[in-house]
Amino acid sequence: MRALLLYLAGQEGFKNFALKFKLFHDTAMRFVAGESLEDAVRAVRQTNLQGLSGTLDLLGENTLTPEDADNARREVLEVIDRVRAERVNCNISVKLTQLGLDLDPELAFQNLMGIAKHARDAGNFVRVDMESSRYTGITLDIVMRAHAELGNVGTVIQSCLYRSERDTVDLVKRGIRVRLVKGAYLEPESVAFRKKKETDANFSKLMRILLASETYNAIATHDESLISEAMEFARSRGISKDRFEFQMLFGIRRELQLRLAQEGYNVRVYIPYGKRWYPYFMRRLAERPANVAFILRNLFKK
Residues tagged active-site? 129, 179
Q: Are 181 and 220 in contact (CB under 8 A)?
A: yes
Give me the torsion for CA of 283, 286, 288, 289, rounded to 10°.
150
Helix (H, G, I), strand (E, B) or coil at 232: helix
Burial classification of residue 159, based on how many CB atoms lie within 10 Å of its CB (0-12 exposed, 13-18 middle, 19 or more buried) = buried
Q: Regarding beta strands 266-273 and 244-249, do their DSSP bridges make them parallel or antiparallel, or are they unpaired?
A: parallel
Task: Name the residue among 302, 301, 299 with its Cα closest to residue 27.
Answer: 299
Calculate helix-pair angle for 224-236, 254-262, nearest 10 degrees. 20
DSSP summary character for residue 163:
T
